[in-house]
Structure 1
Amino acid sequence: MTTKSNDTLNNKHINYLPKVSVVVPVYNGEEDLRELIPCLLAQTYPSELVEYLLVDNNSSDNTLKCLQTAAEQCPITIHPFSENKIQSSYAARNTGIRAATGEIVAFTDADCRPQPQWLELLVQPFVNLDVAIVAGEVAALPGKTLLERFADRQETLSQKHTLAHKFRPYGQTANLAIRRIALQKVGLFRPYLTTGGDADICWRIQQEYIGKLEFAPLAIVQHRHRTTLKELASQWRRYGRSNRYLHELYGIDLMRAITLSECGYGLVRWIVKEVPKLSLKAALGKGSVIDILSTPIGLFTARARYYGQMSATMPEKASDIDWL
């Protein structure tokens, strides 16, 4: 009996092959496209059922020309577009969504590297009609620097953090798919929002009880971690700004203040207690430099996130929603 049920479910997955539109915003992505396009070419999902809508967002390099060349030369369906009116990845995504003809609209970013079975596995959960959103996993590309290894250890990019959000779960647009009908009902991304739009669109769909969100852990895209303290600070300040904007839109809790005295106490405790203990472990082969530096890097990112949250001001018209 169980075998028959599993066979039926597997057959449903095999037979469920909807038209998919993949939307990718691109800003100064000339270098990224050299690695992204081969990843799109390698997808196992039937190529005749996929269209790739790559949207240049007013780049200053040769991104648009690269998109046009790819559309002419690649055996897959690539449609190049341009969004020059609003400098925002969400506005660029909306441009792609408006041109999309697929039943499912999938999203990734130019600096992501979708694995070959990404689309195939990302689409499968939609066989259940009560599913409106599917989030795939975001894994790290192999890193060599200490900061990359730290972020990998913390699984900074993983969807498990956003899926566990205490307000409502959401998936990051680096690896997300949404039924087009859901976008018709709740609207598109807020085009003037500069961060936090992935949470916002997932929350709007869930608020209207249009469908549930499913996680597809084996539908993987890879992304590179930040390699310098400057890049790391920028990343966590953006997380802080996102928190501020979502607070303005939904009233979610803000991150509490992390004072300099708390940071000072944390560093003193680290030097006096953690460094000797962790250094001994590292010398015995039971630990690493990342273990030793985990506390100061964690304090650094927490302060950056808090600064981003406190210094953020909602962009003008950020609450506006675009519609199909």
Structure 2
Amino acid sequence: MNDNLVNTVTTDAFLPKVSVVIPIYNGAADLPELIDCLLAQTYPKQQVEYLLVDNNSSDRTYVLLQQTAESSPLLIRPLSEKQIQSSYAARNTGIRAASGEIIAFTDADCRPQPEWLHALIVPFVNDDVAIVAGEITALPGQSLLEVFAERQETLSQKHTLAHKFCPYGQTANLAIRRQALEKAGLFRPYLTTGGDADICWRIQRENIGRLEFASGAIVQHRHRTTLRELQSQWRRYGRSNRYLHELYGIELMRDITLKECSYRLARWLLKELPRDSFKALAGKASLVDLLNTPIGLFTARARTAGQREAKLPKKATIIENI
């Protein structure tokens, strides 16, 4: 029997029980499409439970979760986390209720593709794999900011997997072996951002297991469409940098100063914009090309502001256990 056939037989036979944990806050509008994506999964339905955790929503999220659980052919378990307003606390609630040996994570506004779960689980056939990260791509978007973010591959795991301190995967598309969580502990429930890096780093730095990337495990996510949403996103990235700096001593991202912004804007106005305008007239450049520099500076300034203003909450040092 050749090696490829052996590998195929091995991975096809490897179908562990999986618990998919999804925190949801005011996600009523996202639920129908999310459930459709879960129904389309190719992983055997009898081997999956979906723990959808409402995090004190003010809309009809929890009612819809209960109704969906009653009528769906999937095993959906609606849960609630009302004590702590944090997606990490909600994930911990799901983990504690989970029965699978592999815990997979995504978010309510994500759209897992049909092969997502199957591709995400395959690397766990190797006993030394504790974490698997799948890829995050953009849902089709037409707005200026969506096209900009798609070109920058803002959400791609390639950025976090290349982190110079230690690689990590984002919880929008991540799976962790339950045994690893039992040893390293759960998410920090009072952390509001950066928890995905923290949990991956703890597992790897304690030599519990290694992280592997599953490029075929794809989750699509919608990019921000307004400047306010974009600013909030990049401020959060800045806060994450600050929190991880205080927890691990990692180097902070370099602040972009007002003087540097002014210089780059002047260069854009005097050099880049005239050049790209001629390209646009020739059909060789788009509006995103014309505005790439100012949008990039906008996000950099938002990240800098988030990093400068953030202060790690005292309770964020708490690590809960199963």
TM over 0.5: yes
**Cα distance per residue 1:9-52 (max 9 Å; x no partner):** 11111000000000000000000111101111111000000000
**What's 1:264 paired with?**
262
In 2, the alpha carbon distance for the partners of 1:201 and 1:42 equals: 29
Secondary structure of 2:135's aligned partner: strand
Q: Which of these residues, 140, 143, 152, is aligned with residue 142 of structure 1?
A: 140
**What's 2:106 paired with?**
108
**Cα distance per residue 1:276-298 (max 9 Å; x no partner):** 11111121122211111111000
CA apart distance, 1:158: 0.5
**What's 1:277 paired with?**
275
In 2, the alpha carbon distance for the partners of 1:287 and 1:164 equals: 30
In 1, the alpha carbon distance for the partners of 2:163 and 2:194 equals: 13
In 2, the alpha carbon distance for the partners of 1:171 and 1:145 equals: 27
In 2, the alpha carbon distance for the partners of 1:147 and 1:272 equals: 23
In 1, the alpha carbon distance for the partners of 2:182 and 2:152 equals: 37
Secondary structure of 2:316's aligned partner: coil
The one-letter code of the counterpart of 2:9 is: N
Q: After superposition, where does 1:34-183 map in structure 2 within 5 Å?
A: 34-183=32-181
Note the residue ranges of structure 1 that are not aligned, 5 or more in a row. none
In 2, the alpha carbon distance for the partners of 1:176 and 1:148 equals: 23
In 1, the alpha carbon distance for the partners of 2:253 and 2:182 equals: 33
In 1, the alpha carbon distance for the partners of 2:46 and 2:209 equals: 27
CA apart distance, 1:237: 0.1
The one-letter code of the counterpart of 2:208 is: I
**Cα distance per residue 1:100-155 (max 9 Å; x no partner):** 00010000000000001100100001111111100000110000100000000000
Secondary structure of 1:317's aligned partner: helix
In 2, the alpha carbon distance for the partners of 1:217 and 1:143 equals: 22
Secondary structure of 1:18's aligned partner: coil
**Cα distance per residue 1:201-221 (max 9 Å; x no partner):** 000000011111111111001
Secondary structure of 1:305's aligned partner: helix
In 1, the alpha carbon distance for the partners of 2:159 and 2:301 equals: 19
The one-letter code of the counterpart of 1:59 is: S
**Cα distance per residue 1:248-276 (max 9 Å; x no partner):** 00001111221111100000000111011
In 1, the alpha carbon distance for the partners of 2:140 and 2:59 equals: 27
Q: Which of these residues, 201, 211, 219, is aligned with residue 199 of structure 2?
A: 201
**What's 2:28 paired with?**
30
RMSD of aligned residue pairs (Cα, Å): 0.7
Secondary structure of 1:227's aligned partner: coil
Note the residue ranges of structure 2 that are not aligned, 5 or more in a row. none
Secondary structure of 1:30's aligned partner: coil
The one-letter code of the counterpart of 1:286 is: K
In 1, the alpha carbon distance for the partners of 2:21 and 2:208 equals: 22
Q: After superposition, where does 1:246-265 map in structure 2 within 5 Å?
A: 246-265=244-263
**Cα distance per residue 1:170-189 (max 9 Å; x no partner):** 00000000000000000000
In 2, the alpha carbon distance for the partners of 1:205 and 1:7 equals: 32
CA apart distance, 1:99: 0.5
The one-letter code of the counterpart of 2:234 is: W
In 2, the alpha carbon distance for the partners of 1:51 and 1:164 equals: 31
The one-letter code of the counterpart of 1:152 is: E
Identity %: 71
In 2, the alpha carbon distance for the partners of 1:225 and 1:284 equals: 29
In 2, the alpha carbon distance for the partners of 1:255 and 1:160 equals: 17
In 2, the alpha carbon distance for the partners of 1:315 and 1:25 equals: 21
In 2, the alpha carbon distance for the partners of 1:232 and 1:66 equals: 29
Structure 1-normalised TM-score?
0.98
CA apart distance, 1:161: 0.5
Across the two proteins, how many residue pairs are aligned to each other?
322
CA apart distance, 1:316: 2.7
**Cα distance per residue 1:300-320 (max 9 Å; x no partner):** 000000000000111230010
Q: Which of these residues, 309, 312, 316, is aligned with residue 311 of structure 1?
A: 309
Secondary structure of 2:193's aligned partner: coil
Secondary structure of 1:139's aligned partner: strand
In 2, the alpha carbon distance for the partners of 1:66 and 1:44 equals: 24
Q: Which runs of 4+ in 1 moved over 6 A?
A: none
